[in-house]
Amino acid sequence: MTSRISYSKLSRENRKRMLGMTIITVLTFFIKAVFLVMGVNECSSHTEVLRLFQPNMGMAGVVIVLAACSAAVSLYYLHSRKQTDFYESLPIKRATLFRLVVQNSLFIFLIPLVIEEAIEFVIAQQQISGGGWEIVSSSLWYLLIFAATWLTMALAMIMTGNIIVGILGFGVFASYFPIVIYNIFPIYAGSFFATYSGNTADNVYNNITSYLSPVWVGLRGMADINSGRETQIKYMMILLLWIVGLYVLCRTLYNRRPAESAGRAMAFTKANTVIKVLLVIPSALYSGIIFYSLGNARYIFWLIFGVVFGVFVIHALIECIYEFDVRAIFCHKKQLIVIMFGSLFIMASFSADLFGYDRYIPKASRVDSIEIKPLGVNSYGYWGKGEERSGLNGEEKQLALSVIKESVEVKNNAETSSSEYYEKNSKFLFFSSVSKKEVMRDDIEISTTFCMKNGNRKVRNYILRSQKAKELYNKLYATREFKKNIYSLYTRDYNDIKEITWSGIETEYLNLTKEEKKQFLDTYLSELDSLSYTDVQKTVPVGNIDISIGGTMGSENATQDTYYIYPSFKKTLAFLAQKGCAVNQTIDNLDISSIGVEGYDGSTGENIRYGITDKKRINKLKKKLVLQQMENVPGITVINGNMEIQVNYKNKNGGNSIYCYSICTDDELQQLLKE
Amino acid sequence: MIEIKKISKRFDKIEAVSDVSLSIEEGQVFGLLGTNGAGKSTLLRMMAGVLKEDEGEILIDGEAVWDCVEAKQKFFYISDEQYFFPNATPLDMAAFYKTLYPAFNEKRFRKFLVKFTLQKDRKIQTFSKGMKKQLSILLGVCSGVKYLFCDETFDGLDPVMRQGIKSILANEIDERKFTPIIASHNLRELEDICDHVGLLHKGGVLLSKDLETMKCNIQKVQCALPKEDDKKLEKMFDILQFNRRGKLVTMTVRGSEKQVMAKLSVLKPVFYECIPLSLEEIFISETEVVGYDIKNLIL
């Protein structure tokens, strides 16, 4: 065993060889400190200064490059026969040598990092008397990202015998799951599954793949820097697990690595086939989708062509890299054929829906509840605290399932698609999937989540006939159960609501006691219970209330929900009126002094500006205006969102302005403006 | 003592070393001879713990070499292309080796540098190939190890340097049972330094013998016989090589000088004498027997 004394001397000797990396690392942190000082001088507020001390993606990118270079430099000897002979013949255990290299690389990074962060701490204390958590968390993030990247590159260097192949390997390890694999399913599902919803939050596949690269986990954790300490700590723990796992894997492989692989493409030839399969199949699938897209997504033939072409080319390329010989493209023909069939099978599982993704409707007995995303109804929204969304049960669930089942089935030829796509590709669409069903002009798409009894969630989008969809929503919307899924206010803890404001023509802050708040919100919800789906589609709200959760409006941890007040909400309006809100004020009954219109006219291609003061014209125009805050209300169609319309009116305080959109056609608006 | 027991090593489909067994005693110079591709370097790299054997084991003083610090501290390996740290000087390398070989004698090393006119503060990357080899040997000798593995190390040295190094090695052997193992195909170099020779061919051991014993058991004879009876000669002697020019026969045969002369005298030759064989001639004779015909290669 190398003694402790000689280990420390050896460590020192190794650090002497890493002088170049040491200088680059020190220089990097020196420049970072200089940029910080320059940034602090430019800041004008506490928040801006504080933001400078937070970890940022730019620096994370620099750390990744530093780490990759450090690992490549430290382990380059594995790729040189001369150096391998030298190091492997020395009286040092392999495990010791590896540990030494890892420690020194971390040490060379850590010392300048700590010094630079100490300088930042001093500056932070002088400038804002704070920023401690930001500085500590940024140090931790950079260190974790460095370690994760270093070990990923080390794995690539250990598994290969050539630096170019090693760099390629690093790229594959870092991006394979979070980019290559992560995107295949959504791209193919989005292209071929009519019921695919693209909802990645509920997609187990997407959730898992995004954690399968330590570099990606680090970047993702940093990107969510404002999502709270708990989330940050969660990411850090995952990254730490990755680091420990990678270290153990690297050390094991390092100990087993044959020295004769120096100079070859791959060090562990037994892994070659596995790596080849993992690279060729996804690459071929991407090739397929590229050719399919180039054919305007009209012919599945081009998809098949692309997959076959991709298999040939990528397989050949990998064989060339393995053997460093162009003639090697003709090696392993049997493997090529097997991979070809595998790729085509996976492709067909999407294009021909072999596994019935589109035909999927679970049995009622297996479904705990169904969440249906409201159609034509604004849904609010923040489900952080309070009761979780529970979905539809009982009769509503049965109703939803039967309507959905009807939407999927193709009962007779009359329902079979007459689209050009189906005609040209019918022989590739093996099963009676949704792609075969004729889509009518008024059909409506609804988003459905099946919450299974085993805890899984499956999301699908179904196309319903317009009539069926409206019948379904009319029935569902009449139930409180359905509304609880749409409006989080039903299950919100009122103590979390810190502020409520009324927004109509004017905005008023509601100064309410705890009891008044409860009374007001209970009243609102009871009137919301009575609101029908038809009302929502056809009625323009009088105004809306904005509630701030978790803090006052605009504060760092606060979120905001908006709830519309409809004319039928008499008690709610009475309450607001009692609190001094001008609930009866509308655009129509305002004493308007002028209307200014400014914006881009699409028909002429010019910027326009109008000022209208004539009362007759004002009276005509105001009937075609809605408040900007009503832009997303169902039943209101904002024709021209590019036109900014400022309405100036007189009130008890002298005057005020509101901003509106028009709901008339462009021609009508032009006529009104030019009269 | 180094024991190599049934060692085999394969690189993909190529069997570089096949079932090799050797014993290397302490205190002697062991020459590892071999044809091109015989497996000399591979065997040395396995002995140095660089490559792991597929089968068999290599023991140095009873300890397996692979990833064993104690075993590795007993030898110093000089590769055919020795690696030095970039921008390092001889003293830098000495300082490095001192951390790993506690018995490294830095004083002696400095003296050797002076003796061999190698500048201690000059960057090694500016040295010639021969100077680098000299330096490697000096580092190995001064490391205080028992065994020195040299892979074609002597090839780049000039004759004067070669003699200097040989004398150092001889001193070391005398003083402390130092054991150099030298791989080479330069037979002339090994002839006057090796005590024991191992001959490798196509991954296997052709022979492993004491040099003097080997020389004793093969004779090169020139004779002129009254009758040209080659068949009789074939029956009488174990002939390795045979050449006739008219009446004059030159043949390489197995056996001691005494035995060969006695047999020849029975044939009443007009003229006969034993000619000293060089190691090269022994080598060629031995390899020709197994089909490695050097003449075919020249053609």
Measure the CA–CA gap between B58 and B64, rounded to whole angstroms: 6
The reply to whether B180 and B220 lie within a common domain is: no
* Per-residue pLDDT at B298 exceeds 50: no
**Radius of gyration over alpha carbons of chain A, in Å?**
32
Once rounded to an integer, what is the mean pLDDT over residues A85-100?
A: 93
Which chain A residues are Cβ-neighbours of B72 within 8 angstroms?
89-92
Q: Is the pLDDT of residue A490 over 80?
A: yes
CA distance B283 to chain A (A): 29
Nearest CB neighbour to A88, from listed B49, B95, B101:
B49
pLDDT > 70? residue A620: yes
Three-state helix/strand/coil letters over A77-108: HHHCHHHHHHHHHCCCCHHHHHHHHHHHHHHH
**Prediction ipTM score:** 0.86
Report whether A559 contacts A549 (CB < 8 A).
yes
Closest CA to A444 of A477, A417, A418, A468: A468
- The verdict on residue B225 lying in a domain is yes
Percent of residues, chain A, with pLDDT higher than 90 = 38
pLDDT exceeding 70 applies to what percent of chain A? 88
Same domain, B198 and B217: no
The per-residue pLDDT for A379 is 53
User: What is the least distance, in Å, from the CA of B13 to any CA of chain A?
Assistant: 13
Of residues B153 and B4, which shows the higher confidence score? B4
Chain A residues with CB-CB distance to B86 below 8 A: 17
Between B188 and A291, name the one with better pLDDT.
A291
Report chain A residues whose CB lies below 8 A from the CB of B85.
17
Q: Which helix (H) or strand (E) holds A549?
A: strand A543-549
Region A216-220 average pLDDT: 89
Any domain includes B216: yes
Position with higher pLDDT, A443 vs A11: A11
Question: Across chain B, which distance is largest between two alpha carbons, in Å?
Answer: 71
The answer to whether residues B235 and B197 belong to one domain is no
- CATH number for the domain spanning B181: value is 3.40.50.300
Of B149, B170, B202, which marks where a domain is finished?
B202
State the best of A3, A260, A322, A323 to mutate against chain B, taking most chain B CBs within 10 Å: A260
Contact status of B69 with chain A (Cβ, < 8 Å): yes
| pLDDT at position A8 | 83
CATH code (residue B250): 3.30.70
Residues B218 and B123 in one domain: no
Residue B234 maps to a domain = yes
Asked if residue B66 and residue B127 are part of one domain, the reply reads yes
Residues paired with B75 in a beta bridge: B147
Chain B residues with CB inside 8 Å of A90's CB?
A: 72, 100
Q: How far apart are CA B17 and CA B43, in angstroms?
A: 7
Phi and psi for A545 in degrees, rounded to 5? -105, 140
Query: Are residues B154 and B50 located together in one domain of the fold?
Result: yes
In degrees and rounded to multiples of 5, residue A28 shows phi and psi of: -60, -50
What gap in Å lies between CA A95 and CA A99, rounded to an integer?
6
**Confidence check: pLDDT of B44 > 90:** yes
Report the alpha-carbon angle B249-B255-B261, nearest 5. 55
Structure tokens at B258: 């005494």
A507-540 pLDDT, tens digit each: 888 989 999 999 999 999 999 999 888 888 788 8
pLDDT in tens, A120-170: 999 888 888 778 888 998 999 999 999 999 999 999 999 999 999 999 999
Q: Hey, what's the torsion of the CAs at A41, A43, A49, A54, to 10 degrees? A: -90
Backbone angles phi and psi of A295, in degrees to 5 = -90, 20
User: How confident is the model at residue B174, as a pLDDT?
Assistant: 84
pLDDT digits (tens, 9 = 90+) for A228-273: 778 888 899 999 999 999 999 999 999 999 999 999 999 998 888 9
Q: Is B79 on the interface with A (CB under 8 A)?
A: yes
Residue B154 shares a structural domain with residue B175: yes
pLDDT of A359 reads: 81
Tokens of A166: 């090693």
Partners of residue A269 in chain B, C-beta under 8 Å = 12
- Write the Ramachandran bin of B206: left for phi over 0, alpha for psi from -120 to 50, otherwise beta: alpha
The confidence score (pLDDT) of residue B296 equals 46
Q: Which of A2, A259, A269 sits opposite B50 (nearest CB)?
A: A259
Check residue A107 and give its pLDDT. Answer: 94
pLDDT at residue A314 is higher than 90: yes
Mean pLDDT of all residues in A416-445 = 65
Torsion of CA B231, B236, B238, B242, to 10 degrees: -40
Residue type, A68: A
Tokens of A262: 């120096």
Token couple for A478: 């009449």
Q: Are residues B127 and B245 in the same domain?
A: no
Residue in A84, A90, A269 closest to B100 by CB: A90
Question: Does pTM top 0.80 for this prediction?
Answer: no
| Model confidence at A395: pLDDT above 60 | yes
Q: Which amino acid is at A615?
A: K
In angstroms, the separation between the Cα of residue A17 and the nearest Cα of chain B is 8
| Cross-chain CB nearest to A6 (options B48, B51, B99) | B99
Q: How far apart are CA A666 and CA A602, in angstroms?
A: 9
Mean pLDDT score of chain A? 85
What does the pLDDT average to over A3-8?
A: 68
- B12 interaction partners in chain A (CB closer than 8 Å): 269
Of the spans A373-382, B76-85, B238-247, which averages the highest pLDDT? B76-85
pLDDT at residue A382 greater than cutoff 50: no
- pLDDT value at residue A255: 93
Contact B99 A89 (CB under 8 A): no
Residue among A542, A588, A592 at smallest CA distance from A563: A542
User: What's the angle, vertex CA B169, arms to CA B164 and CA B172, rounded to 5?
Assistant: 130
Helix (DSSP H) and strand (DSSP E) numbers for chain A:
24, 12
Partnered with residue A411 across adjacent β-strands are none
pLDDT value of residue A383: 45
Token pair, residue A216, equals: 């990606």
Tokens linked to A539: 């009625």
pLDDT for residue A612: 85
Determine the structural domain holding residue B30 and report its residue range: 1-202
The answer to whether B94 contacts chain A (CB < 8 Å) is no
Name which residue leads in pLDDT, A377 or A66. Answer: A66
Average pLDDT over residues B262-288: 79
Residue of B nearest to A85 (CA): B50
Q: How confident is the model at residue A644 (pLDDT cuts 50, 70, 90)?
A: confident
Q: For residue range B189-218, what is the model confidence (pLDDT) as tens digits?
A: 777 778 888 888 778 877 777 777 767 778
CA dihedral B283, B289, B295, B299 (to 10 degrees): -130
Question: In the listed set B180, B202, B224, which residue is the last one of a domain according to the structure?
Answer: B202
Residue B294 covered by a domain: no
Q: What is the DSSP string of A438-471?
A: PPPTT-EEEEEEEEETTS-EEEEEEEE-HHHHHH
Residues B132 and B231 in one domain: no
Residue A531 DSSP label? -
Q: Are residues B228 and B268 in the same domain?
A: yes
* Residue B36 in this model has a pLDDT that exceeds 80: no
8 Å CB contact of B51 and A1: no
Whether the CB of B49 is below 8 Å from some CB of chain A: the reply is: yes
Residue B157's φ and ψ, nearest 5 degrees, are: -95, 145
With a cut of 60, say whether residue A380 has pLDDT above it: no
B125 touches chain A (CB under 8 A): no
Same domain, B177 and B237: no
Give the pair of three-digit tokens for residue A136.
């500590």
Task: Provide the pLDDT for residue A378.
Answer: 57
CB-CB contact of A311 with A336 (8 Å): yes
**pLDDT at residue B126 is higher than 50:** yes
Q: Grade residue A294 by pLDDT with cuts at 50, 70 and 90.
A: very high
Cα–Cα distance for residue pair A174/A71, rounded to 1 Å: 14
Q: Is B242 on the interface with A (CB under 8 A)?
A: no
Q: What's the total number of domains in chain B?
A: 2
Per-residue model confidence as pLDDT tens digits over B242-261: 889 988 999 888 888 888 88
B99 with A10: Cβ contact below 8 A: yes
Joined tokens for residue B202: 């196509």
Which of A6-20, B55-69, B180-194, B248-262 is modeled with the greatest confidence?
A: B55-69
Per-residue pLDDT, averaged over B219-248, amounts to 87
**pLDDT score of A22:** 94
Q: CA-nearest residue of chain A to B87?
A: A17
CA distance B10 to B53: 9
Nearest CA in chain B to A9: B99
Of B143, B168, B202, which residue is a domain's last? B202
Q: Which of A185-199, A200-214, A375-389, B138-152 has the lowest mean pLDDT?
A: A375-389
Residue B207 domain-assigned (yes or no): no
What average pLDDT does range A69-93 have in this prediction? 94
Q: In whole angstroms, what is the distance from residue B250 CA to residue A642 CA?
A: 110
pLDDT band at B112 (very low <50, low <70, confident <90, very high): very high
Question: Would B293 be classed as within a structural domain?
Answer: no
Chain A within 8 Å of B73 (Cβ-Cβ)?
A: yes
Report the pLDDT averaged over residues B269-278. Answer: 84
Please state, in angstroms and rounded to a whole number, the distance separating the CA atoms of residues A429 and A300.
Answer: 10
* Among B50, B60, B77, the residue to mutate for chain A (most A Cβ within 10 A): B50
Q: Indicate the residue of B12, B69, B79 with minimum beta-carbon distance to A91.
A: B69
B15 and B35 both lie in a single domain: yes
Residue-level pLDDT at B67: 92
- Helix extents (H) in A257-352: 272-294, 300-323, 333-351
pLDDT of residue A413: 58
| Alpha-carbon separation of residue B230 from B219, B226, B227, B247, B271 (angstroms) | 18, 12, 9, 11, 16
Q: What is the pLDDT of residues A553-603, one digit of tens each?
A: 777 678 888 899 999 999 999 999 999 888 888 888 888 888 888 877 666
> Reduced to 3 states, what is the DSSP secondary structure of residue B200?
strand
Nearest CB to A85; choose among B45, B73, B100: B45
Q: Please indicate whether residue A148 or residue A484 has the higher confidence score (pLDDT).
A: A148
Chain A residues with CB within 8 Å of chain B CB: 1-2, 6, 9-10, 13, 17, 80-86, 88-94, 255, 258-260, 269
Q: Do B101 and A91 touch (CB under 8 A)?
A: yes
- Is pLDDT above 70 for A317? yes
Q: Measure the CA–CA gap between A603 and A581, rounded to whole angstroms.
A: 41
Query: Which residues make Cβ contacts (< 8 Å) with residue A18, sequence separation at least 6?
Result: A70, A73, A74, A104, A105, A108
In a domain, residue B299? The reply is: no
Residue B117 in any domain: the answer is: yes
